[in-house]
C-alpha cells in the first residue's frame, strides 16, 4: 500500500489521505498544534517561575488606593477581575460547543445551520476579546501595570496577549468561511476544511482553560 492515497469526494473535490486514513490537512494541523503546545507551555512556565522569583513585590509598583479612609496597597487578588475572567472563560467554552455543532452540520450538508453556528462562534470570540481588552485597559489606566513596570506585567501581557492573537486569527479564519458559504461554492466536500478550523478553535479554548486557573486562580491559593 502506498504511503498516501487520494480519495474522491463530492463535486470532483479530492481529499488527500495518509496511510493511516487521516487526511493530510488534519495531520498538518495536529503537527502545528503540537508545536504550539510547547510554545504556550514555555510561556506559562515562564510566567509562573518569574512570578514567584521576582525580587520586587508586585504590590510595591502598584499605586495605593483609599480604603476606609486610609491608603492601602493593592494586592494581586484585587488586581485580577475573577468575575469578568470567569464570564469570558464561560463564553469561550460555549463557543467550542457551537464550533462542534458547526462541524457536525457541515458534515450533514446543512449549510444554513453551519452559518448560524459559525456566526455564534465569531460573536462569542469577539466578546472574549472585548473582555480581554477591558481587562488590559483597566490594568494600564487604573494601576499603571504595563509590560515594563514589573515582571508580572511582562509575562502576563505576553502570555494572555499571545493567546488573544490566536483567538483573533481563529475569528478571521471563521469569518472567511462564513463569507465563502454565501458564494454558492461551499458544500459537504468542505467539511474537512471546517473541521480543521474547528481543531484550531478547540485548541485555543483548551489553552485558555489552562491559563485561567494557572495564572488567575493560583494567586488565591499560593
Quote the pTM value: 0.84
DSSP letter at 109 equals T
- Asked if the model's pLDDT at residue 144 lies above 60, the reply is yes
Q: What is the pLDDT of residues 76-101, one digit of tens each?
A: 777 788 999 999 999 999 999 999 99
Q: Any idea what DSSP says for residue 185?
A: -
In this prediction, residue 1 has a pLDDT band, given cuts at 50, 70 and 90, of very low
Neighbouring residues of 147: CB distance < 8 A, sequence distance ≥ 6: 153, 154, 157, 158
> Taking 70 as the threshold, does the pLDDT of residue 65 lie above it?
no
pLDDT at 64: 56
Closest CA to 150 of 212, 45, 63: 63
Highest mean pLDDT among 24-38, 72-86, 131-145, 166-180: 166-180
Pairing mode, strands 14-18 and 4-8? antiparallel
Q: What is the pLDDT of residue 130?
A: 97
Mean pLDDT for all residues in the chain: 84
Q: Which CATH architecture has domain 26-220?
A: Up-down Bundle (1.20)
pLDDT value, residue 6? 33
Give per-residue pLDDT as tens, 147-195. Answer: 887 788 888 999 999 999 999 999 999 999 999 999 988 888 889 999 9
Mean of pLDDT values over 8-25: 58
| Size of the chain in residues | 222
* H or E segment and range at residue 5: strand 4-8
- DSSP letter at 186 equals -
Assign 53 a pLDDT band (cuts: 50, 70, 90). Answer: confident
Query: In the chain, where are the structural domains located?
Result: 26-220
Query: For residues 106, 110, 115 and 117, what is the CA-based torsion angle, rounded to 10 degrees?
Result: -70
Q: For 75-150, where are the alpha helices, taking DSSP H only? A: 76-79, 82-107, 111-143
Amino acid at each position: 500500500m502506498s504511503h498516501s492515497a487520494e480519495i474522491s469526494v463530492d463535486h470532483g473535490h479530492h481529499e488527500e489521505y495518509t496511510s493511516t486514513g487521516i487526511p493530510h490537512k488534519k495531520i498538518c494541523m495536529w503537527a502545528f498544534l503540537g508545536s504550539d503546545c510547547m510554545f504556550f507551555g514555555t510561556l506559562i512556565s515562564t510566567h509562573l517561575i518569574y512570578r514567584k522569583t521576582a525580587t520586587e513585590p508586585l504590590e510595591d509598583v502598584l499605586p495605593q488606593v483609599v480604603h476606609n479612609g486610609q491608603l492601602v496597597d493593592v494586592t494581586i487578588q484585587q488586581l485580577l477581575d475573577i468575575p469578568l475572567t470567569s464570564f469570558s472563560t464561560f463564553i469561550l467554552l460555549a463557543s467550542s460547543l457551537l464550533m462542534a455543532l458547526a462541524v457536525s452540520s457541515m458534515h450533514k450538508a446543512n449549510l444554513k445551520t453551519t452559518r448560524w453556528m459559525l456566526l455564534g462562534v465569531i460573536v462569542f470570540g469577539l466578546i472574549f476579546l472585548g473582555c480581554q481588552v477591558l481587562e488590559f485597559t483597566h490594568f494600564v489606566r487604573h494601576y499603571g501595570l504595563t509590560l515594563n513596570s514589573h515582571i508580572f506585567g511582562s509575562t502576563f501581557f505576553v502570555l494572555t496577549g499571545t493567546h488573544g492573537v490566536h483567538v483573533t486569527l481563529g475569528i478571521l479564519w471563521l469569518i472567511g468561511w462564513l463569507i465563502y458559504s454565501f458564494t454558492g461554492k461551499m458544500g459537504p466536500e468542505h467539511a474537512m476544511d471546517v473541521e480543521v478550523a474547528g481543531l484550531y478553535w478547540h485548541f485555543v479554548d483548551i489553552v485558555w482553560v489552562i491559563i485561567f486557573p494557572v495564572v488567575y486562580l493560583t494567586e488565591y491559593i499560593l
